Amino acid sequence: MGTIKQMSNELRDWIIETLHSGVSPVVIADGLVKKGFNPRYAYESLFQIVGSEAIQTSEVETAPYYYETPEIGRKGNTIYTSDREINILSRVEKPFILHLDHVLSDEECEQLIRLSSARLTPSKVVDSVTGEERQAPGRTSKGVYYSLMENPLIARLEKRFEEITSYPIENGEGLQVLNYLVGEEYKAHFDYFPTNKVDHQKGGQRIGTLLLYLNDVEEGGETVFPKAGVSVVPKKGSAVYFHYANSMGQVDRMSVHSSIPVAKGEKWVATKWIREKGIY
Ligand code: PD2
Ligand code: ZN
């Protein structure tokens, strides 16, 4: 019978690291018991570590996501903004995804690409454990961030996005424009932050994404929502809006999505991430 009742600092650090990598506490506790730890001690220690480190574990996130329809989903089949009429092409409820056409004019798409071409740098990802930004092999595109209202074009678009989504401009992160060349992709990910890494002083959780297509792609480059069985083909001026957080602080794991590799041509998109509160 295992009777070890003391844990070295090294072992504690290893447990924290392993929890962060997504291994469930139960699996780790079972492993400790197999190594000769007292079962009760192993389980209580794991419980304590999870609590004190605020580690998000698969056991903690078991409540089913409660779907709430965002305001954009109550506007019917056409969204009227002060300068455009935008058509809704398709709608998925769970996860919530809207496909929109004519969000940007051809000239606006071309202007955004022209402005961005000279400023591209390698894109980063939000680390699913630390919540910090870093470069990663799963995201091979290049991109540029604009600050809110940075120039007259961005200001006009920000205002339009506010009217489309009904979220104030201040809830939006600066627009990001991305460029993917042949073979480049953004592997499956969530846009929301790990729930224990949300900065409530700076806008809080990301709740929705407006992803705008700036050009037609010859082949590949679709945005794929594998849990919904949806694949969005990039079309110049169109957009997809997806919503993945509710007023109870839950996030929707069904919203996992990716940009599959461009097979021919190149792909330009703009991403508008929306937070639950004003950021600035
Ligand atoms: O470029 C895309 O299609 C894409 C897909 C998934 C962009 C993002 N996510 C993103 O910017 O978050
Ligand atoms: Zn994304």
Atom 11 in ligand 1: residue holding the nearest Cα: 271
Res 30: pLDDT: 65
Atom 9 in ligand 1: residue holding the nearest Cα: 258
140 close to ligand 1 (CB < 6 Angstrom): no
Residues 58-75: what's their mean pLDDT? 86
Res 2: pLDDT: 54
Q: Which atom of ligand 1 is nearest to the CA of 257?
A: 6
190 Cα: distance to centroid of ligand 2 (angstroms): 6
45 close to ligand 1 (CB < 6 Angstrom): no
191 close to ligand 1 (CB < 6 Angstrom): yes
Res 23: pLDDT: 60
Res 32: pLDDT: 75
268 close to ligand 1 (CB < 6 Angstrom): no
Residues 138-155: what's their mean pLDDT? 92
* Domain 71-275 of CATH type 1.20.1420.30: no
Phi, psi of 97 (to 5 degrees): -140, 130
Is pTM beyond 0.85? Reply is no
Question: Of 29-43, 194-208, 251-265, 266-280, which gets the smallest average pLDDT?
Answer: 29-43
- Which ligand minimizes its atom distance to the CA of 239? 1
Where along the chain do its domains lie?
9-52, 71-275
Pocket test of ligand 1: the residue of 259, 272, 273 to mutate, having most ligand atoms within 8 Å of its CB, is 259
